[in-house]
Amino acid sequence: MEKLKGKDYEELLEPLEVELVAMARWAQQTGARIVVVFEGRDTAGKGGAIRAVSQRLNPRQCHVVALSKPSEREQTQWYFQRYIAHLPSAGEIILFDRSWYNRAGVEKVMGYASDGQIDRFLEEAPKFERMLVNDGILLFKYWLSTDQEEQEERLAERLEDPLKRWKLSPIDLAAREKYDDYTRAREAMLKATHTPEAPWTLVDFNDQKRGRLTLISDLLARLPDTNIEPPAMDFPPLGHEPLEESFSVLQPLKPFGD
């Protein structure tokens, strides 16, 4: 299938953005708590997918959580403990850019966790998620899928593009030779944690634009009816001519290019 062009993508995304805004309004009015987990290989497109979901939403309501390497103190805690602090309150939407599933993916493949820690995680994760769902949290887990050829192209692009170079780490480069290892780790993770309460949804992200549209459409389809109209507000005309901005103490910078 031919990759989606930018103009076509923007036209298809716009009505979904309207629905996402309605979803956020619904969550705020009903007190719903929403968690969306974005997982996948390096370069799969997690960041772009999260931006597509969040860019029209109120950042005070919709929070992106992308945790760094755990501190020495956090390494001594129960594994799920530092993620619990970021779970939503009433009306909030939390988007995890990687999540507790780091343990079943990166930590397993790169040897950062022991076999015992991995086994314990795969046993505890479904129980942890069942507690979240039983408490009323709406939990959605997405795995973004990418072929190795596409991954290689994106890694090379990051290396060459100074605006994307920050996305590339030594771990990303070391993981290039472990594509099959990541596949096996993912399959073990899916087998242990794809449950009726918190199922996984796999999305093809070889075409990132089409993948974003697919993911957002699926997310909206799985939520309850969120069609709540915004409250009506009067917007009467001013009782005078609009005023120009004026300054006395300090002056603004000159416009760029002036």
What's the whole-number mean pLDDT along residues 246-256? 90
Q: Are 97 and 65 in contact (CB under 8 A)?
A: yes
Tokens representing 38 are: 């974005």
Residue 173's pLDDT band, with cuts at 50, 70 and 90, is confident
Higher pLDDT, 257 or 81: 81
Q: Which of 114, 85, 190 is CA-nearest to residue 145?
A: 190
d(CA 187, CA 180): 11
pTM of structure: 0.92
pLDDT of 229: 80
Sorted by where each begins, the domain ranges of the chain are: 6-222
pLDDT of 175: 79
| 163 three-state secondary structure | coil
Residue 129's pLDDT band, with cuts at 50, 70 and 90, is very high
* Residue 190: exposure state from Cβ atoms within 10 A (0-12, 13-18, ≥19): middle
Tokens representing 201 are: 């949804």
pLDDT of 120: 98
Going by C-beta distance under 8 Å and a sequence separation of 6 or more, which residues neighbour residue 199?
A: 141
Question: In percent, how much of the chain has pLDDT > 90?
Answer: 78
Question: In percent, how much of the chain has pLDDT > 70?
Answer: 100
Tokens representing 119 are: 């086994």
Residue 46's pLDDT band, with cuts at 50, 70 and 90, is very high
Please state, in angstroms and as integers, the Cα–Cα distance from residue 232 to each residue in 70, 121, 208, 229, following that order. Answer: 46, 49, 37, 9
Q: Which of 193, 89, 201 is CA-nearest to residue 135?
A: 89
pLDDT of 58: 97
Cβ-based neighbour number of residue 10 at 10 Å: 12
What is the architecture of the domain spanning 6-222? 3-Layer(aba) Sandwich (3.40)
pLDDT of 81: 97
d(CA 188, CA 145): 15
Q: Which of 192, 39, 186, 69 is CA-nearest to residue 125?
A: 192
